Structure 1
Amino acid sequence: MHLSRWISVCVFFFLLTVINGNGSSQRSNMPGHIAMESYLGHSDRLLYVERLWSIKDPIEPAGDISKHCLELLDTFSNATSVYLKCIMCNARPLHYCQNCATEFAYAVNCYSDIARLVENGSRCRDELERADNVQVVTLVYDFIVDVWEKSHCHNCYNATAQNGTTVYNSTEETKEMLEKIQDVQMCFHDFAGKDIENVSVCFLCRELYNKANDYYNMLDKEDKLCSDLVDSMNYTRRMWSKDLHCTVAVHTDLLIYSLSVAISAIPLLFYLGLYLYGRRRVSAVSLSRRDSLRRALKEDADPPARASTSDGI
């Protein structure tokens, strides 16, 4: 009796092991599960499979959000993805203000479409905010705008409204600054390395460098710089000073030379002044002595006046 029970228990566990083995082999053949099998336990694998098959179709309408609103959300999602990729690809060297303005404008305009859409008395943006307590859409929009504003990209563009959308056009100051920086860098490229100490590039590119630096300082005082211009000018200055070993000072050579001449001339002027003052003093003393001697000689030459006598009456 006891032997038959033990045999039944052994057969039951054997069949259970076989069934579990077949189930595991079938799950391991499913696409996307091979990497997960390596670090998920048995119970976690079953939970992962259940969650995988329970994912809803992303284009299926959710809750009370209208179909048109979800379409605008999908457009905004794609626009945001393109903009984030653009700024990441242009982060070094930093040129995303210049190269990602179109992508930024498109993402902002897509969000504006969501904010303007009203269907059946309900605003699309309000529907999205009610459906998500984290408010991911608003957070993403605030992030892309924050990146643009912290980089001061608005300083390099004029924003104009056209047909309900915002269009960004580069300012004339930005175009001129970029042209000046490009001229300097082209000069570096053409003449750098022509001699051992880069004497030629320092001499030939000095005027272009000074003009670019002066114009940059003017825009800085007027608060018309964006991160692109700041990064480009910093790179140009680093090439000028560290790579090419040219003088960092701008328009200071003439001032230095003038000060040197002025300081050197101070002792000369001092001694010249003393010399002229001494000669004038000597001349004044000699003239005074001459006058005294002349008066003395004149007094000696003139006879003393005689007293007059009168006849007696």
Structure 2
Amino acid sequence: MKIHIFAIFLLNVCISIIHAGDAGVEGYKILTTTNLFINDQPVECLKLLDSFAEYASNFTMCSIKYARPVRLCEKCIDEYVMFTSKYKELLATVVNGTSCREIYFSLDRLDVILEYHDNILSIWNKGNCNECYDWTESTPVLSNNTILFKKIFNETVTCIKTTINPAGNNSDEVCSRCMEFYINLDKLYKSLSKDSIGLDSVCFDILDSMNTTRAVWSKDLNCCKRLKSPETIFFWCTGIIAFLPIMFYAMVRYLSPLRDLPRALKESRFKQSFLRSSREGIN
């Protein structure tokens, strides 16, 4: 009997030790996880986070600096590429079974890192900046259309600046000398845009440059009146041609023997029949 009680006692002791060990392991896991979020984040994740913050700051500063005139797409491409690269690296990096993504993303309502990423991406996409570049290579380069537009734009601006005087009283000379540059620039822009405005199809750097050039050309220099002259002549010629048939029929109506038509109607068949019927009634 005593042996039986002693065996049960030993069994209980062993079970207690096992449970104590399990509790210790579980407590260790909780402590490790807590420290991971509070203090003991992997060094690799911290370095990536620092780089991400640095490039986010660089892009923000660059985008503000080149907000007016808009040159964000061209001037901030390096910052944008590094920013997106560090973001992808931050998502993909795993250190000793610990994912950097699990540490920094979707843990609270603020989700600061994701918000900053989405905001910067929104600015880039809103400017349609990808359209400025050729992305077929490992690194983006300015597309041929962008390079050509910059060339003609610079030629147009140079022509205007070198021709106009400070008093601004020689706009007619500017219009004449720079007309070809402006027309070529406008044609190229229209070929790049999928609609009349180009908001959803043209890189915003190009869009802003074209809008500024058009404003100077039409409002400041008043050069559009020269472009409207051929259109005015065309409309006048069209109106005259359309009026010729009306004038012809009017001349035929009032200047020909048809003027005697009312007199002929007096002796019409209808009147003769009416008179014949009246005579027969009297008889």
Common topology (TM > 0.5): yes
2:151 paired residue number? 179
* Secondary structure of the structure 1 residue equivalent to 2:222: coil
Counterpart in the other structure of 1:257: 233
Residue pairs, 1:1-313, within 5 angstroms = 62-129=38-105, 134-160=110-136, 162=138, 167-193=139-165, 196-221=169-194, 224-247=201-224, 252-265=228-241
1:208-240 Cα deviation digits (max 9, x unpaired): 111211221222226541211111111101111
Q: 2:135 is paired with a residue of what secondary structure? A: strand
Q: What is the rounded CA distance, in whole Å, between the counterparts of 1:74 and 1:248 in structure 2?
A: 57
**In 1, Cα distance between equivalents of 2:144 and 2:240:** 46
Measure, in 1, the Cα distance between the counterparts of 2:136 and 2:162: 39
User: What percentage of aligned pairs have identical amino acids?
Assistant: 27
Task: Give 5+ residue unaligned stretches, structure 2.
Answer: 1-36, 258-283
Alpha-carbon separation, structure 2, partners of 1:216 and 1:185: 15
- Note the residue ranges of structure 1 that are not aligned, 5 or more in a row: 1-60, 282-313
Letter in 2 for 1:231: D
The equivalent of 1:303 in structure 2 is none
RMSD in angstroms over aligned alpha carbons? 3.1
Cα displacement (A) at 1:180: 1.9
Q: Matches of 1:152 and 1:74 in 2, distance apart?
A: 28
Find the aligned partners of 1:203 and 1:224 in 2 and give their Cα distance: 31
Q: Which amino acid aligns with 1:235?
A: T
Q: Is the 8 A contact 1:192 1:244 kept in 2?
A: no
Cα shift at 1:120: 1.8
Deviations 1:19-41 (A, max 9, x none): xxxxxxxxxxxxxxxxxxxxxxx
Q: Is the 8 A contact 2:164 2:170 kept in 1?
A: no
Greater helix percent: which structure?
2
User: Is the contact made by 1:83 and 1:100 (CA closer than 8 Å) also made in structure 2?
Assistant: yes
Moved more, 232-241 or 267-276: 267-276
The DSSP-based 3-state class of the residue aligned with 1:221 is coil
Give the conservation status (yes or no) of the 8 Å contact 1:63–1:131: no
With the length of structure 2 as denominator, give the TM-score of the two structures.
0.66
DSSP 3-state at the match of 1:241:
helix
Deviations 1:165-194 (A, max 9, x none): xx3222212222222222211111111138
Large movers: runs of 4+ above 6 Å: 272-276
